[in-house]
Structure 1
């Protein structure tokens, strides 16, 4: 009987909510104090396990090149930390934008879960920073960006390196919203077979598949799924948090989230954070098809308008050249070349 009850117990899925980090991409990193406080308070009331905060590109990323945030890291961290009584506070950092000093500062402000990110074939750049996070006593995650640009076997090898470097959870970001569910299953299955730590999946909705892909990831073995309120995030947005939790509950998975209060948090996000909820417009769709970072939507539109060219052409050319986050300065160069051609 005990064995049968154990087998019938609902499988746990941990939800990681980057609404206040990835959502920054959708509003040019301009969320203010009251907006951060209001959403963090609502998410905390819903018992969302992890609430991630920061500039869209992470700690230390506020800059002229990719956008100045309305608030500095210190202010954002302090505001959200004060609003959280139940949820853990998470942060995200990509080496090159952030430094060890940024990590130490974030943990000193109460960050409990720290994501160290790298391009999908460059896990080696995370070793030092993952070690710093472990030394500081925070939970260390290692994640691979633009993961559609690497084969499943390569992603599994890279995730194994992240775990070797001290990551207590590892996983992949579908940064361009490029995946079909079969792609996700193949990659998550390869990663879960290669590591002994929880596996993460972070989806974007450029092809309208973010929730389906996140469910596919869970069924393939992932146990930490990222999702944002109303899908608030770069480009066409992220996996929609309240929809994902509702679907998981219907399927018999446990998230520990109060769905009724989560619906209130999603309403708060729509009313307080965003001009309009994310939609799959033509440009977002093309971004997903081309495999271009979803956060490029706004700068691509701005640049295409400035040069008088079609943003669809610009997206496809950026995809052909495999331009990635951090190479925003190339958007203008490519636009100029298209204009001359």
Structure 2
């Protein structure tokens, strides 16, 4: 009989950074205990890393104990990211879990399965059921032609072998073919983990079952990396209707409601970019990053996906920015926050007051640009993502001789839209020198422009930050901006940097534009 493995907290953690509220996890655990789900994979078990990840990326012992408390009858396990561990790490990672966890799976690149076999042997000696989650199923035949025959060496080592449709790109007949081949080689339980880019996760799961699959992965509301997975509630409803399984729908609906509310905030599930990436077997990590970062338009993302498919960067090559080595004593970066509009009168007066200084404006976003259209100083626009379309609506009011558009360095992953009338006014940076992260963001471009122009005094307006409880997009944007601002301050002591409107951002000197007017 088919068995269900729910991995909601593990796979859903890609959206929440593996932090979940206690009430939600308790409801989830209680529901899983009451439902006909055999295996619960509660998260990753990871070594200490340099960036923050939450509870369910590390699954400390108390998390495991809590899961066992609410799910005493279930097989509870964790997954390891095989590329991040060595056999010598396993005692440190899993030693305290002996007798507390039932199974350990490993997420594995098919190119590394032999290396993973050594780790599996050590894990099995520790008393755990051992599972392989092998990625990139759609590429096995073309890129790893001997893989399925070679994994016969895993017999006697692994207790389960899950085939992962990483790109959500497979069709049911392909799933049947590969499942049958794997079944002919391996004697362990065979599993299937389907991603839902093309909305075929359910159909592909049924195809895998038809071909003899033993274990099916699913997540509540389909929560999971990128486009997400087979929905647990959908599959259990099917099993109740078609196979007569006893499903406690009251318990199920309680946890589904919790995750549906979270879905309103994070927005997982398939969409046009995920569909295109699925049909072309393109990586989910990049697409997920682009989709959740709001300054990328759908057209930009689709162009980037086409570039990835064709294995090329953005094919629009532009002249080098500031090849004539302009220099400005002072510059003001205008962001998209409300203060960029509210303080526009004062900022323009400050520019007039300092007319003896060479000054320019740098628009990190064109959202507030219209307030500065009447200035007779050079203005630079950061052209990232959807800004070209937004700029088309405002540039008609500007003196074209005072406008320049600046793009990230070539080649760019993201497709770039440059308004036709601004092609002769558009340039690209040769490099982003002050930061190794977020190099194609609005803020990174604006700060690099200031560096290229040898600015001595840099004022920043319209970087307000956020009040109260914020969503994931706002949190990510805050993290980006604070990192970039700290880098420009730390690495460029010769440049005076200060915000001049009210801001929640830390680490940068905060002055008042109104106070500057009294100097």
Q: TM class by shorter-chain length? A: 0.7 to 0.9
**Residue 40 of structure 1: which of 2, 21, 29 is its match?**
29
What are the ranges of 5 or more consecutive residues in structure 2 without an aligned counterpart?
A: 313-408, 417-427, 430-519
| C-alpha deviation, 1:161, in angstroms | 3.2
**Residue 225 of structure 1: which of 216, 221, 228 is its match?**
216
Name 2:164's counterpart in structure 1: 173
| C-alpha deviation, 1:234, in angstroms | 1.2
The 5 Å alignment of 1:1-341 reads: 12-54=1-43, 58-60=44-46, 63=49, 68-69=53-54, 72-74=58-60, 75-98=62-85, 99-101=89-91, 103-105=93-95, 107-108=97-98, 110-151=100-141, 154-163=146-155, 166-252=157-243, 258=248, 261-271=251-261, 275=265, 278-301=268-291, 305=295, 310-319=300-309, 335=412
| C-alpha deviation, 1:154, in angstroms | 3.7
Higher relative contact order (CA 8 A, sep 6+): 1
| C-alpha deviation, 1:78, in angstroms | 3.6
C-alpha distance 299-169 of structure 1, shift in aligned 2 (>3 A): same
- Higher share of residues assigned helix: 1
**SS of residue paired to 2:265:** coil
**CA–CA separation in structure 2 for the residues paired with 1:333 and 1:189:** 46
| C-alpha deviation, 1:155, in angstroms | 4.4
CA contact (8 A) 1:147 1:155 kept: no
**CA–CA separation in structure 2 for the residues paired with 1:117 and 1:108:** 20
Report the RMSD for the aligned CA atoms in angstroms.
3.3
| C-alpha deviation, 1:209, in angstroms | 0.4
CA contact (8 A) 1:317 1:334 kept: no
**CA–CA separation in structure 2 for the residues paired with 1:109 and 1:333:** 54
C-alpha distance 212-308 of structure 1, shift in aligned 2 (>3 A): closer
C-alpha distance 161-43 of structure 1, shift in aligned 2 (>3 A): same
With normalisation by structure 1, the TM-score equals 0.79
| C-alpha deviation, 1:41, in angstroms | 2.0
**SS of residue paired to 1:51:** strand
C-alpha distance 262-158 of structure 1, shift in aligned 2 (>3 A): farther
Q: Deviations over 1:278-307 (max 9, x none)?
A: 332112212212313434433234679489
